[in-house]
Amino acid sequence: MMMPAIRLDGAEAKFGDVVAVVPITLSIATGEKVALLGPSGAGKTTMLRLIGGEVRPSSGSIELHGRMIGDLAPGRELSSLVGMVHQQFDLVPNLSALQNTLAGNLGRWSLGRGLRSLVVPVDRHMAISALQRVGIDDKSAQRTSRLSGGEQQRVAIARVLVQDPSIVLADEPVASLDPARSKEILGALTTDSPDQQKTLVASMHSVEFARDHFDRLIGLRSGSLVFDSPATDVTDAMLDELYRI
């Protein structure tokens, strides 16, 4: 078997005494598209943040492409391996959509290049084509704070497209979008570039979209794994059990 893109080995996340994710062991292969499902508070965001290195596991370990996440240098190395789209987008409101998108390059760029790009955008075509893929290249010059929630979400996705990590993590990437737009964005996120297979892990509230666009569905409830199956094998009974109140 090939080395998995992501490997959790008994990884657990605790905030004080509260266990957000109970020890989980699983592997995700390179190129797999995985959706995390589950009621709110199930630990989907925490699991994404564990994989992205934003939350340290309280026990167990996480490997990305065979390397322990703690051994990866923050900055260029970590950002070329893994990138995350947060649910709150977390863009810089006073910068233009273009500059926020270009910020995906900051792991690669030297400081001087970054400084220069604030005056005259560097690699502009790259950002424009990313904004095109999410359908808002016409808003590139706008100040990000003036964009709607859905537009900001698409800028955040464009940024991760520019960052171009081999593993993309996305927390509710289509929560603020209408169904047609959601399809387009999920398409942009799940389409592999010709030279590289992208691994995608996204938390999803829409079961329907998750089934249509992802290979594998993982059900989380109260921080524990409820199911982990190929999308085609997930039955309505399993979903009812997952979302049971």
Is residue 215 within the footprint of other proteins (CB under 8 A)? Answer: no
Total residues in contact with other proteins, by rule CB under 8 A? 36
Instruction: Identify which range of 22-30, 124-132, 157-165, 201-209 contacts other proteins by CB under 8 A.
Output: 157-165
What is the SS3 assignment for 91?
coil
Question: Phi/psi at 167 (nearest 5 deg)?
Answer: -120, 125
Strand partners, 200: 33, 168
Sheet holding 216-221, edge to edge: 82-85, 167-171, 199-203, 33-37, 216-221, 224-230
Q: Which of residues 158-197 bind other proteins (CB under 8 A)?
A: 159-160, 163
Report, in Å, the least distance between residue 22 CB and other proteins: 25
Choose between 67 and 76: whose C-beta lies nearer to other proteins. 76
Report, in Å, the least distance between residue 109 CB and other proteins: 8
Report, in Å, the least distance between residue 200 CB and other proteins: 16
Closest Cα partner for 70 from 80, 55, 85? Answer: 55
Instruction: Identify which range of 98-106, 170-178, 181-189, 200-208 contacts other proteins by CB under 8 A.
Output: 98-106
Choose between 21 and 91: whose C-beta lies nearer to other proteins. 91
Choose between 158 and 239: whose C-beta lies nearer to other proteins. 158
Counting Cβ atoms within 10 Å, is residue 148 exposed (0-12), middle (13-18) or buried (19+)?
exposed
Contacting residues for 228 by C-beta, under 8 A, at least 6 apart: 26, 216, 217, 218, 219
Q: Which of residues 20-79 bind other proteins (CB under 8 A)?
A: 52-54, 74-76, 78-79
Q: Which of 3, 61, 115, 197 binds other proteins (CB under 8 A)?
A: 115
Question: Phi/psi at 7 (nearest 5 deg)?
Answer: -135, 120
Report, in Å, the least distance between residue 15 CB and other proteins: 16
Report, in Å, the least distance between residue 171 CB and other proteins: 11
Report, in Å, the least distance between residue 81 CB and other proteins: 10
Counting Cβ atoms within 10 Å, is residue 108 exposed (0-12), middle (13-18) or buried (19+)?
middle
Q: Which of residues 124-143 bind other proteins (CB under 8 A)?
A: 143
What is the SS3 assignment for 37?
strand
Q: Which residues of 163-199 are buried (b: 16+ CB within 10 A; e: fewer)?
A: bbbbbbbbbbbbebbeeebbebbbebbeeeeeeeebb
Interacting residues toward other proteins by CB under 8 A: 52-54, 74-76, 78-80, 83-84, 86, 88, 90-95, 99, 103-104, 106-109, 111, 114-115, 118, 143, 145, 156, 159-160, 163
